[in-house]
Structure 1
Amino acid sequence: MSLLDAEAVDRGLAALDGWERDGDAIVRRLRFADFRAAIDFVGRVADLADAADHHPDLFNSYRRVEVRLTSHDAGGITRRDLDLAERIDGVVGEGAEPA
């Protein structure tokens, strides 16, 4: 899959909820009601990632989660990252807020 240029990444991010560009990745940081809610979200993301065969970097600290998407094999952001970000937005759930 080929890298997206900066304009294509910006257009893709504009259609997503709370994602931002961070170098050669897109990132979303969330805060949940408690640790269990955060871990449940990580599990939902893991299911989506396995189904897409595209695995994000996930960081969890108590009730905070950071999701970082990049296409390592392409060396940056591709359509796969934006597509998975959109699917992840669909499983964030109630009560999550930007961190």
Structure 2
Amino acid sequence: MADLKTQACEACRSDAPQVMGEELKQMLSEVPDWALVEKLGEQQLERTFKFKDFAQALAFTQQVGDLAESEDHHPAILTEYGKTTVNWWTHKIGGLHRNDFIMAARTDDLFSS
């Protein structure tokens, strides 16, 4: 994960390959706290982060939003009392790209700091 969190996202084209097979297994091992989920037929990375209260969850949501804007790569974020759930996937290709794993690692880094 240390390697992923230092990387920047690359511009993704609609014909970019999805992460699959052995590459998917390897990438998942680099972000072990993230679950592989399928929503509306698209694979996504999902993680719920726990906080003491709504204010902390909202502050983290803003940090993730700022990160997303800086990379022009945007997740689904659900903010609730004491938790924030983040889903990363690449809308343009309808599944997972290396960018999603980079952003998951960088989201973990935000949570750790």
Query: How large is the RMSD of aligned CA atoms in angstroms?
Result: 1.3
Bigger shift: 6-15 or 68-77?
6-15
Match of 1:18 in 2: 33
Bigger shift: 9-18 or 78-87?
9-18
Deviation at 1:69, TM superposition (A): 0.7
1:81 equivalenced with 2:100 (yes/no)? yes
Q: Counterpart of 1:38 in 2: which secondary structure? A: helix
Residue 50 of structure 1 aligns with an amino acid whose one-letter code is: E
Instruction: Tell me which of 55, 80, 92 is aligned to 1:36.
Output: 55
TM-score when normalising by structure 1: 0.87
Q: How many percent of aligned residue pairs carry the same amino acid? A: 29
TM-score when normalising by structure 2: 0.77
1:49 equivalenced with 2:68 (yes/no)? yes
1:27-67 alpha-carbon deviations (Å, 9 max, x no partner): 01111111111111101101110011000000011111110
1:6-27 alpha-carbon deviations (Å, 9 max, x no partner): 3222211211141010021010
Residue 13 of structure 1 aligns with an amino acid whose one-letter code is: L
Inter-partner Cα distance in structure 2 for 1:40 and 1:93: 14
Residue 10 of structure 1 aligns with an amino acid whose one-letter code is: K
Inter-partner Cα distance in structure 2 for 1:9 and 1:36: 35
- Show structure 1 runs of 5+ residues with no match: 95-99
Residue 75 of structure 1 aligns with an amino acid whose one-letter code is: G
Inter-partner Cα distance in structure 1 for 2:101 and 2:37: 14
How many residues are matched?
A: 94
Inter-partner Cα distance in structure 2 for 1:64 and 1:7: 32
Q: Counterpart of 2:111 in 1: which secondary structure? A: coil
User: Which structure features the higher share of helix residues?
Assistant: 2
